[in-house]
Every structure is written in C-alpha cells, then in structure tokens.
Amino acid sequence: MRPLLYIHIPFCDRGKCAYCDFYSVPYEPRQAAALVESYGRELRMTTSHFRTIYIGGGTPSVLSRSAWATLLNACRRHASGAEEWTVEMNPEHVTGTLAHMLKESGVNRISLGVQSFCRQKLRCLGRRHSPSQAAEAVNIVRKAGIQNVSIDLLFGVWEESLKEWRRELAGALTLPLTHLSLYALTYERDTLLGRRLSRGDITPLADDIVAEQYLAAADLLRSCGFVRYEISNFARPGRECLHNLGYWQGFPYLGIGPSAVSFLNGVRMRRTAEVSRYLALDGGAAAVCEREKLPPAYRAREAAAVLIRTSQGIDFAAFRRRYGYDLLNTTRPGLQELVGAGILEWTGSPARPTGVRLTSEGFLRADTASSALLSHT
C-alpha cells in the first residue's frame, strides 16, 4: 500500500483568524526558507513512492517564490508516481505566476481557504481577503491549467440566516469548482471567537438552524451534480480528494514538518511543533517527540470511527481484510442500536448485513456513530 505524503507549512501571515485553533506561527521568511531546505534534505533521502502529496498548513501560499522553488524541486522526484498533488492556498496569495509555477511542477489540485463570499462574514471570521479576491483566485488557478479546484466554506455563523447561506452557496456554485468542503463554525476556547462567546458578545445559532443550513447545502449541491462522499466533503464525480480518502481508508502516511503526524508500520509519530527546535534537529526521525504503537484492536476502532463518516460507510469483509477485525460480530448490538435510532442503516439485508453506513438523518448525528464505534469495538 503506497503511503501518502503530507508536508506542513506552519506559518500564517499577520496573526490568527478569529475561529482558528490549528497550530501555526507568524510567518518569518528566514525560518521558512530554512524549513523548506530541511524538507528538501529529508525528501531527497526518502525513497517511498507516494500515492498522493498534500502541502497544507498553516498557509503554504505565504511562502516566497524562492522557498516555493526549493519545495517544489524537492517534491518533484516524488510527484511522477503520485495520483494527486494538492496545495492549500489563501485567496489573497493567488497570482498567475504562482499558479503557473505550481502547475509546471505537477501540482494538479488546489484547495482554497475561502470560508465565505460575504464581506461582513469574512470580517467576523478575521479573514483577510475580499469576496472578489476569492472568486478571482478560483479563476486564476483554472486559467493556469489546474482543473481540480476545491474551496472550504464555513456555515452556521452567528446571525447568518438560512436565506443568506443559500445565496452565498448558490453564488459559489457559479464558479468552476470541482470540490467543496463545508464546515460548521465551532467556537474553540482559545480563539478570538471563543473568548467573544464566553464574554456573551455572540449568540451562536441554535443547533437545529445549523442542521437546516447543512441539509440545505447538501440538497443544493446534489442538485448541481456534486456527490457527498464524506460528511463535510462534496465533489464532482471522480474529483473526490484522494489524499483525504487515503486517510479515511487507513493508508499509511508520512507527515513532514513541525507538529506533523505520521502513521507508518502501525506506529503513530508526532514531530515537535516548535519551529526552532525542529530546525535544530533538522527534522526527520530526530524531530519525532511522540511515538505510539497502536494495538490492532484500537487501530480498528479508530478506523471504523473515521470510515463511518464517509458515504460508503463500512464494508465488513473489506474491513476484516484490512484490519483483521470482525466488526459485525464484535459490535453487532451497538450497531443494531444505532440502526434502531435511525443513525445507521445496514447494507445488504438486515438479516445478513454486508456493511453499515449513515442514513440521511444520520449525517447530522455522525459524531454519535463515531463515538459508539470507538467505544464498542
């Protein structure tokens, strides 16, 4: 099974977005240059043939042209066998020159952190681009010859009506997109929005309104030819993100960069998040600060909890082949309970099920299914 390659760029320019609790540090050009040099050394010594490459962050698009040249050069030798190579970008950084540079190197998928096409909502979220920059970014990427373009959008933002959300999404769908990731806004404690919430400055939308927004989006996307292949992910047929599918289907992966996680030969490893320490150690195995050998039963539990969030759900025979675990016979009462609650449905016949997946209603309660699978297996 060919592993996936994830490269983490831990920098963001000018502080954090109001909702974000991902690990990132302010962009520092010299540190960034040193970091991509270190990635280059590691990639030159890496012999794996990767199934996919994904450069994420942070904000990869904040890198300078010369840092990009170093990074793309280092990745290029791994790119020929890769089926997909994605780069995450923020709309305000997208230029024709950068898009062409990525295309020339073999990047064939761009994921844009758009979050919204509404000026007021962008301001509330602490994003730095304008709605027109977001639309323009999609067109620049397409014009450079990269056909596979995804955007992230946030919904469930306080004071946002269903009508406004529908209008925003309908506007997004006039763009030449192949993929959308939709996420409900969450108010994490150590974020600006989390602090505003605890001060009482914000009244979050009620859960049923957020659910309504999700269902409206799923309907609209389906009517426009997008397939929901995971709770938050919708793609034109054949344009599903292979990298994320790889995670959900249990492929091994190598994560390079501060705070990056790898999963290889049944061992999960996390690298130090501190950029200066990472640089002092020159990355690689030396930068691993946590190592955990996952017991097979635990690994199977985790895999089931993730896989159930995909539209295909879990095929028991395939799951047994992959994890050596008989999910049906070890968890049947728990699964039956979720089926009874309308969250899951059997595939095959109820008497002889071949698998299990979320019902349409279950897509709103997937966390319940995931937690149950984690504890029941």
Residue nearer to ligand SF4 on the CB measure, 154 or 343: 154
Residues forming a β-bridge with 53: 5, 85
Residue nearer to ligand SF4 on the CB measure, 236 or 270: 270
Q: Near ligand SF4 by CB under 6 A, which window of 1-9, 12-20, 32-40, 137-145?
A: 12-20
| Contact status, residue 350 vs residue 356, Cβ threshold 8 Å | no
Q: Does 56 bind ligand SF4 (CB under 6 A)?
A: no
Q: Of 254, 293, 253, 256, give the one whose Cα is nearest residue 278.
A: 256
Residue nearer to ligand SF4 on the CB measure, 89 or 140: 89
Residue nearer to ligand SF4 on the CB measure, 23 or 298: 23
| Contact status, residue 29 vs residue 64, Cβ threshold 8 Å | yes
Return the residue of 24, 70, 262, 370 that touches ligand SF4, per CB under 6 A.
24
Residue nearer to ligand SF4 on the CB measure, 17 or 72: 17
Q: How far apart are alpha carbons 39 and 255 in whole angstroms?
A: 11
Nearest distance from C-beta of residue 124 to ligand SF4, angstroms: 13
- Token pair in block for residue 67: 């840092």
Q: Of 58, 129, 52, give the one whose Cα is nearest residue 88.
A: 58
Q: Does 12 bind ligand SF4 (CB under 6 A)?
A: yes
Tell me the H-state helices in 17-115: 29-44, 65-79, 96-105
- Token pair in block for residue 116: 């919204």
Return the residue of 5, 7, 20, 157 that touches ligand SF4, per CB under 6 A.
20
Q: How far apart are alpha carbons 370 and 314 in whole angstroms?
A: 12
- Decide: residue 80, CB within 10 A, 0-12 exposed, 13-18 middle, 19+ buried: exposed
Q: How far apart are alpha carbons 68 and 356 in whole angstroms?
A: 44
Q: Residue 289: which H helix or E strand, with range?
A: strand 288-293
Binding mask 76-105 for ligand SF4 (x = CB under 6 A): --------------x---------------
Return the residue of 17, 36, 94, 305 that touches ligand SF4, per CB under 6 A.
17
Q: Does 113 bind ligand SF4 (CB under 6 A)?
A: yes
Q: Does 18 bind ligand SF4 (CB under 6 A)?
A: no
Q: Near ligand SF4 by CB under 6 A, which window of 10-18, 153-161, 191-199, 315-323?
A: 10-18
Nearest distance from C-beta of residue 28 to ligand SF4, angstroms: 14
Q: Does 133 bind ligand SF4 (CB under 6 A)?
A: no
Residue nearer to ligand SF4 on the CB measure, 51 or 179: 179
Q: What angle do CA 262, 265, 268 make, to 5 degrees?
A: 35
Pairing outcome for strands 25-26 and 261-264: unpaired
Q: Does 22 bind ligand SF4 (CB under 6 A)?
A: yes
Residues forming a β-bridge with 356: 314, 346
Residue nearer to ligand SF4 on the CB measure, 44 or 189: 189
- Token pair in block for residue 84: 């997909």
Nearest distance from C-beta of residue 215 to ligand SF4, angstroms: 25
Residues in contact with ligand SF4 by the rule CB under 6 A? 12, 16-17, 20, 22, 24, 57-59, 90, 113
